[in-house]
Amino acid sequence: MAVLVLQIPPRQRLASRAADESVPPRSLAELDYVFSPDGLAVGSSGRAAPALLPRADSVVAVLADADVAWQRITLPKAPPARLRAALAGMLEEALLDDEDALHFALPPQAASGSEAWIAVVHRGWLAGVVAELEAAGVVVDRVVPAAVPGTPGGHFCLPADADADAAPWLTLVREDGITRLRTDGTLARALLPADPAAQRWTATPAAAAAAERFLGQPVEVFAEAGRVLDAARSPWNLRQFELAPRRRGLRVLRELMQRLMSPEWRPVRWGALALVVVQVVGLNALAWQQRRAIDERQAQLTTTLQQSFPGVRAVVDAPLQMRREAERLRAAAGRAGDGDLEVLLGAAAAAWPEGQGPVQTLRYESGRLTLAADGWSEPEIAGFRARLGPAGYAVELADGRITLTRRAGAAA
C-alpha cells in the first residue's frame, strides 16, 4: 500500500513573529514529502505544492517535535462523549494555554483507569492545517507526532534556515517525556543520561558531526526522510474528538479497500482467492456432470425411439417424434385419440347435467368441442366443470356456449 508522508512545518510562535515582523506566517504553499510504495522504504522525496503531491493509498501528516506536548496521567473513566472534557479537567493545572485552545489525543488502545501519555497540540492551528490540505484535495488519514515517549534516546537536527556550523537541536526522549532544546547550552548536557552509550542516538547528515562532538561517541545518521517515514508507521493518530475524520460514502469504501489491500490482510486475500478458484472449479465440474447426465438421457431416448420405431432414421426431437409415431400407429389401428370427437362427446355425455335435454347444436374442430348451453344455471355449469376437471378436461363458457378441450399433458 503506497503511503504519502507530509512533513508539516513547525507552528510559528508569537515570539518569533514579534522578533521579525517582516516574516509572514507559515503556510502550506509547499510541503516536504516522502513517498513510499509499500510503507516500509523511501521511494522518493521532495517538496511540492499540495495540489501537485504524488497520489497514494494513505496520507499521513507528521508534526514537528516542538508542536506536540506530552502529559502523563491516569485515564479517567468517562463515556466517549465526555472524555475530552474529563481530560481537560485533569490537565487544567498542567496547561499554560486555555483548554479550549488545545487539542488532546489518546494513545492507541487506551484503557480507562490505566496510565498513559496524552498528546497536546494547538487545536486551531492543527485544524487549520488539516482544512487547508483537504481544501487542496489532500485527504489526511492520520496525523502523527515525529517522536513519541518510549525508548530513551535522542535525535539531532539543524533547522532548515540554520547555518552549517550552528549548534544543532536535540529532541531528547526520556522516561518522563520528550524535551527539545539547543545543544549550545548547559541544560541539554545536564539532561543527558548517565550512560549515553546505552541509548540510541540519531542525527541528520548535516548535524551528525556536531552531535558526535556533543556526545563524544558515534551517532546513527538518519536522514529526515527516513525519520518521518519511521514516524508514519507509528500507531498514533492525533485526529481524535472534534478533529476526527468524517467517514462517509466513498471515503468509507476507500478506507475499507486500503485496509483490505494492506499487508496484514494478505492471508485473507489469498484465502478469498483460493475459495473463488475452488468454487469456480467445483461449479465447472458440477456443470460437466450435469451435461454428461443430460447427454446420457438424450442418448437413451434416441435409442428407445429407434428401437420402438425402426422406421425413424434421423432423430431431431426424440419425445416429439415418439408422440407423432404413436399417434400415427393409433390412427392406423382405428383407435380414437384423447382429442378426437368420440372421446370428447363421451366425456361431455358422462358429465351432462341431469334434467338437461339433448344438445341442440355442436361444433368440433382441432380437438375443441363446442356445445350449446342456453338455459344452463350456474350450479349446472359449475357441476359440469367439476366433473370434467379431474379427468383432465378444460371447460370454458362464453356467449351461451361451452367449449371442451383436453388439457395438455393430462393423463388419459
Q: Is pLDDT at 94 greater than 80 in this prediction?
A: no
Nearest to 400 by CA among 355, 367, 344, 380: 380
The pLDDT assigned to 348 comes to: 83
* Average pLDDT over every residue of 196-211: 88
Q: Is pLDDT at 107 greater than 70 in this prediction?
A: yes
* Average pLDDT over every residue of 321-331: 76
- The CATH number of residue 46's host domain is 3.30.420.380
The pLDDT tens digits for 341-388 are 788 888 888 888 887 778 878 888 877 888 888 778 888 888 888 888
The pLDDT assigned to 22 comes to: 39
Bigger pLDDT: 62 vs 341: 62
Is 229 within a domain? no
53 in the same domain as 189:
no
The pLDDT assigned to 120 comes to: 92
Is 411 within a domain? no
**Exposure class string for 74-90: b at 16+ Cβ within 10 A, else e:** ebeeeeeeebbebbeeb
The pLDDT assigned to 14 comes to: 58
The pLDDT tens digits for 10-56 are 887 655 444 444 333 456 788 999 999 888 889 898 999 988 898 88
- Say how far apart CA 407 and CA 195 lie, in whole Å: 103
Structural domain including 387 reads: 336-406
pTM (two decimals): 0.58
306 in the same domain as 183:
no
Q: What is the DSSP letter of 100?
A: G
108 in the same domain as 41:
yes
Q: How many domains does the chain have?
A: 4
129 in the same domain as 32:
yes
Residues 6+ apart with CB under 8 A from 327: 337
The pLDDT assigned to 308 comes to: 84
The pLDDT assigned to 263 comes to: 77
* Average pLDDT over every residue of 184-189: 86
- Say how far apart CA 372 and CA 30 lie, in whole Å: 97
Is 228 within a domain? no
The pLDDT tens digits for 116-129 are 899 999 999 999 99
14 in the same domain as 64:
yes
Of the residues 287, 307, 331, which one is the last residue of a structural domain?
A: 331
| Dihedral (CA of 342, 347, 353, 355) sign | positive
Is 213 within a domain? yes
106 in the same domain as 120:
yes
The pLDDT tens digits for 221-262 are 988 888 999 999 989 999 998 888 876 555 567 667 767 777
